[in-house]
Amino acid sequence: MLIRGPKLGRPDRWLVAGVAIVVAQLLAASWAEPFVDTISAGMALLAILCAARTIRLTPAVGVPDRWRWQAGSFAWLLWAAQWIANAVQDSLLRHDQLLAKGLSEARLAVLVFTLMPLAAPGDDRRLRWLDAIFALAFAVLMTILSWPDLFDADPKGPDNTFLYLGYVAMAVFAGLSVVGNPARPLRHMSRALFVTLSTYAVVGITSRELIEHGWVGMDAPVFAYGDLPFLAYLWLIGRATPDGERDAPEYRLVLLARLVPLAVTILIVALSFIVACSLPGNALLAGTMALAILVVYAARAALIEALHHQHREAAFVREHARAAGLTDLMHELRSPLGAIALNASIVRRTVGAQPALDRAAVAIESGCMTISHLLDDVLALERLEAGLTPLAITRHDLAALLREVVAMLAAEAEEYGVTLTAHLVAAEVAVDAAAVRRILTNLIDNALRFTPRGGRVTLSLTYGHRQYQLTVADTGTGLPPEVRAAPFRRFASVARPLNGRRGSGLGLAITHALVQTIGGTITVDPPARDGGTTFRLLLPAA
């Protein structure tokens, strides 16, 4: 079996070295006495190898969360020291496991702080302190779970239940770290540690059960399969992060900021409850810890909401200032633009028989008109999104309003060679007539410009489920995939129309804002086999 590294065709030397250590363990089984010491020595070498590779991959100075990589390296070194102490306990420590178990507890505590999946370096200092309390509480609980075995000379331990619970809890905690760390390099290390600790839990539980039931002895070479967690880490930590993997989107970060702390809180409280019920001597400590962690979670949730409110208010102030500045800019541009258009018109009327100057004047007028329409659209959209467009809600004959729009656009449809038809039912609705006219004008005009000669644009009005449905369907070229993914965003138009001039790209964005303003919803149907586009506008009847 050829072991490949991050680059295709290149052997992973670290993993090869790890496999070589495992092979050496198995070869030593025939002459080593006792073999359990050989296994311990091999695991110590593998842990040192994992520490060296983590140090090699540690980001440069100044990179956020660099300390987590350093802590992970230190945890591996503590793990190596634990196995070395375990190997020499018979000859030097007279079967005293206190040193090995103390190193094990230190390694678990360092791993807990390495994997803590909550606050990021840029977060509020108070938030980071609260998250440090989460890590401290979990580390103390892991120590309590191992306490019955800490001073016991029997390698089997008095009760494996707590040890098994510690294995599983640590693996779950590492899994939460993978979910809660959005940054790719840190999530990469967390994923490797999660697989390592999960594998270690399976290996630890199964090996102890085999010994407990007397199926194999502690000196059996089969226990070399305890090297698997170390090999898994060497393989995963050396794999390059996929180029296509992106950082978590904003909505996911907000969701994780709520769910991951809650999951950690539930885990700590559950472990505290188990300790309180199983170890009466530690019941008071476990109960106090559970109560404290609930208070910390409540404080963290309140702090998150307060910080979110501050950020939202600051964003609102910035957006308001931006919108006001943009509106002022639009107004300031209109005056010189009007002067340019006026002077171009004067030039065109006075040049007489000079065709070149006449064409230049026409081009200036056309450009000024295009820019003026764009400024009007930007200004209208800004006012709509800022809630500065007043509504005049009165009862209207909706079908009559739609017929007016169809009549207004009939000449344009005839010029383009497109059949414009309407199928309407009687409807009297309380709406803003100007808003409805502009919505339908935008949708139908957009459909006419992208429908070839001989095509059809159909407007229909139906009633059902206490709401009216307006449908504008065409047999045109259809929306491009990049526009269909977000049809109502600004400047979504990327295709050149078949008829008329290219729009500003703001028509559908204005339409969407108007629909929301009057309390309706608008959607786009999936693309049909024969092409075309269908917009559906729903308006409540009441």
Domain spans of the chain, in order of start: 13-315, 346-389, 393-540
pLDDT of residue 95: 54
Token readout for 478 is 């259809």
Which residues partner with 394 through β-bridges?
Answer: 431
- Phi/psi region, residue 418 (left: phi>0; alpha: psi -120 to 50; beta: rest), is beta
For 395, other C-beta atoms within 10 Å of its C-beta total: 10
Cα 41 from Cα 27, distance rounded (Å): 14
Helix or strand (DSSP H, E) at 429: strand 428-432
| C-alpha to C-alpha distance for 111 and 117, rounded to whole angstroms | 12
pLDDT of residue 48: 93
User: Do 61 and 244 form a contact (C-beta atoms < 8 A)?
Assistant: no
pLDDT of residue 285: 82
What per-residue confidence (pLDDT) applies to 5?
A: 46
The CATH class of 393-540 is alpha beta
Indicate the DSSP class of residue 242: P
> What are the residues whose beta carbons fall under 8 Å from the beta carbon of 133, sequence distance 6 or more?
292, 293, 296
Burial status of residue 239 (CB atoms within 10 A of its CB: 0-12, 13-18, 19 or more): middle
Helices (H), 386-478: 398-416, 433-449
Residues in the chain, pLDDT under 50: 1-9, 150-158, 243-245
Rounded-to-integer distance, Cα 89 and Cα 215, Å: 25
How much is the pTM?
A: 0.57
Phi-psi region of 358 (alpha: psi -120 to 50; beta: other; left: phi over 0): alpha
Q: Which residues of 80-96 are buried (b: 16+ CB within 10 A; e: fewer)?
A: bbbbbbbbebeeeeeee
Q: Which amino acid is present at 145?
A: L
Closest to 344 (Cα-Cα) out of 329, 325, 333, 359: 359
Is the peptide bond preceding residue 155 cis, with omega within 30 degrees of 0? no
